[in-house]
Amino acid sequence: MIRNFDNEWFVLDTKNTTYAFRVIKTGQLEHLYYGEKIRIEEKEDLLCLAEQHAYAPGATANYTNEDRSFSLDDMRLEISTLGKSDLREPFIEVINSDGCRTSDFLFKSASVLDKKSEINTLPSSYIEYKEEGNETIDNKDIELQITLVDDYYKQKLILIYDVFYDKDVITKRAVFKNDGDSSISLLRLMSNQLDFATNDYTFTTFNGAWAREMQRNDRRLTAGKFVNSSRDGISSNKANPFVMIYKNGATENTGECYGINLVYSGNHYEACEVSAHYKLRFVHGISPDGFNFVIDANEEFETPESVMTYSKNGFNGMSQNMHRFVRENIVRGNWKNKIRPVLLNSWEAAYFDINESKLLKLAKASKDVGIELFVMDDGWFGKRDDDSCSLGDWYVNKKKLPNGLGSLAKKVNDLGLMFGIWVEPEMVSVDSDLYREHPDWAMDLKDKPHSEGRTQRILDLCNPDVVEYIISAMSDVFAGANISYVKWDMNRVFTDVYSKYLPAEKQGEVYHRYVIGLYKVMATLTEKFPDILFEGCASGGNRFDLGIISYFPQIWASDDTDCLYRVTCQTGYSYGYPLSTVSAHVSASPNHQTLRKSPLDTRFNVAAFGNFGYEINLCDLKKEELAIIKRQIETYKNWRDVFQFGSFYRGRRMLLHGEHTEYRNEDVFGHGNINEWTVVSKDKKAAVGMIIQALVEPNKQYEYFKPMGLDSDIKYHFTNESKRYNIKNFGDLINTASPVHIKQDSLLHNIIARHVTMPGECEDYVAYGSVLMNAGINLKQAFGGTGYDESVRYFQDLGSRMYFMEGE
């Protein structure tokens, strides 16, 4: 709900939050409040929220000599400009035709709309309007547009606020219009500015690198400025655009927390600045680094959409708001609410060494264990035997697939499997027919050495001919076989950023125009092939953002499939992204990225929390391992609606070395050794929980599991899955029970292990949700070196358990 009191006071309400600002007498917008919902019935109720100014602070400048009671540098503002006494991070920066950088945008008008307006060049959130007879519901007072004007330079700045009432989400964006007679240079235009009265907050970012995405970092905000940004040309694994700002002392379930994200896939910028007067400013939008957009007379520029939510119920409360919003207002298309198939990807099973015979053998093994979708990864096109060639040549390698792509897809379909492929359409290899024919299509510098990444170059998506080529080439591939799934990869960062298509004065537009071109490609292909399940990827999570999710409903979270790392990675994603957007696979042990050995059960337990699959050579596994995988897939299928579309909650959290938070326990034992997750069905009648420990702690035999998000008044049947364990896991302790001595790893030891397994513990309780959430379940005693039977929990390094809760 949006209320406008006399074109002076504005209030935006969601179900549980209120956002308010006003127009001050000099025409700027003063931010008043954003937080827990407050009762406002008339403008007089807002008077106490306005800051009281009598004299401006010393050594500051006044906006005008006619009123010396305040300085903009000491006010909470909706937007800030350069040159008019506010010396903090600006919202907008313009170089006018006379070279001046001072801007002065003042209130002109306001309008309230009952429908959300569209962004012309970028994806954004959307609302599905519901019809009830002749009445349209849930679309009253959805959008507020505030028009600000700089009369001197004849420029407009339109601030657009959209309210998603039930999600407790408000989105913000801006449109700049040049109504003057001359071109100007836009150096910065943010999507969101949020000013706080104090600096009693912590800024949380999610940083990392390849194979180490989404590591949570917390910084208590004191004097100065902290920036989280990307210069990679993509949203980046170094600094995801999702961030949190929380009141110091907040926890997973208590305290004030703001979550903010950007619907954008390029360079982004999030800055928190604490002023000399202890006020906190947050700005969020396209990164100004390397950005210089020329706006000609009568042209405009629109920013991506910033998404923000508030919860008084800590990080989990904030995450629930974000998850619902992303699932229902960002993800779209035929796969929005459709169950995702269990897949097997050929990459770690074969890498580039593929051929039709090998792939069909792997597909047959996949079908035998219950896989539903077989994916052929890199190596199927051009003369691609390694990563040095053929990107851009999207025709089948007939040496590997002599009967073509369509024939292979049909043979896979005949096994009862869907068929998927890998592509990397935004790239070109120098050793390719495409590059030899169109070297001008690559983004590089003429006659200068190129700073190469993965022996490939980036196609110039500023060029409409390149955009049309990618659409045409991919359309031919997707239409040439019965393809049900596409993994869309992007494996390098930007270097030598230069478009041969654009003139010199527009080279500062390359980063943004690339993103616009990319979105045109994705929009066209997803509309043309609505039944294909597209999965985004950029060397894993190097472009995991709401822009990509607007077209592709899921993204490969990381190239690192190590289950211990994935706990931290997937926990990181969970703060801002729902499980239905995160893809996770079971891979080999030792892991290909870390060489860490881990139990097959734990690899499954972690990967099941998301869009699930395998990245492993099934043809090389033992019968016992294949039987375990078959049971895992059966378990996942029985519960995947909960896994993919349930509400996810974080419990106790594992903290690994190298990850920095205020709550960090440097000792791996204790708090930082245990991680708990719970995912709960929409009707709260079913839930799955998982507990994992990093290392065994000697003589620590007792543990508990405390699920979250259940219905307090529903009685649940709480169980675990029955397991049996290889007796070799107990080493030469077998001799404490054997009448004859058995040498560890001997032939006799191996023979016994094939016939004798050790029983696992059974957890079987009936309890109300209030009992499970508040008191928790005291789990069976763990092995502590004093004895073992079916009443003891075998919980080794990287040990984990999955628990099932069904409402009665």
For residues 350 and 737, give the distance between their C-alpha atoms in angstroms, rounded to a whole number: 43
Instruction: Using the CB atoms, write b or e for 63-100: b if 16+ within 10 Å.
Output: beeeeeebbbbbbbbbbbbbebbbbbbbbbbbebeeee
| 559 given a catalytic annotation | yes
Q: Of the residues 74, 162, 393, 489, which is catalytic?
A: 489
Helix (H), strand (E), coil (C) string for 396-447:
ECCCCCCCHHHHHHHHHHHCCCEEEEEECCCEECCCCHHHHHCHHHECCCCC
For residues 594 and 118, give the distance between their C-alpha atoms in angstroms, rounded to a whole number: 45
Going by C-alpha positions, the residue among 435, 347, 327, 331 that lies closest to residue 391 is 435
- Give the number of other CB atoms < 10 A from CB of residue 443: 26
SS3 content of the chain, % helix, strand, coil (to 5): 25, 30, 45
- Helix 623-645 with 600-607: angle, nearest 10 deg: 20
Structure tokens at 349: 């099973």
Q: Which helix (H) or strand (E) covers residue 739, if one does? A: none
Q: Is 413:369 a contact under the CB 8 Å cutoff?
A: no
Structure tokens at 332: 């779209």
Q: 193: buried, middle or exposed (CB in 10 Å: 19+, 13-18, 0-12)?
A: buried
Q: Of the residues 559, 560, 562, 601, which is catalytic?
A: 559
Q: Which helix (H) or strand (E) covers residue 254, if one does? A: none
Q: Which helix (H) or strand (E) covers residue 375, if one does? A: strand 373-376
CB-based contacts of 542: which residues, under 8 Å, 6+ apart? 210, 213, 232, 234, 235, 236, 237, 490, 493
For residues 601 and 802, give the distance between their C-alpha atoms in angstroms, rounded to a whole number: 9
129 residue type, one letter: Y
| 489 given a catalytic annotation | yes
For residues 171 and 188, give the distance between their C-alpha atoms in angstroms, rounded to a whole number: 19
704-705 and 686-693: which strand pairing?
A: unpaired
Give SS3 for 781. coil
Going by C-alpha positions, the residue among 694, 675, 703, 668 that lies closest to residue 782 is 703
Catalytic residue numbers read 489, 559
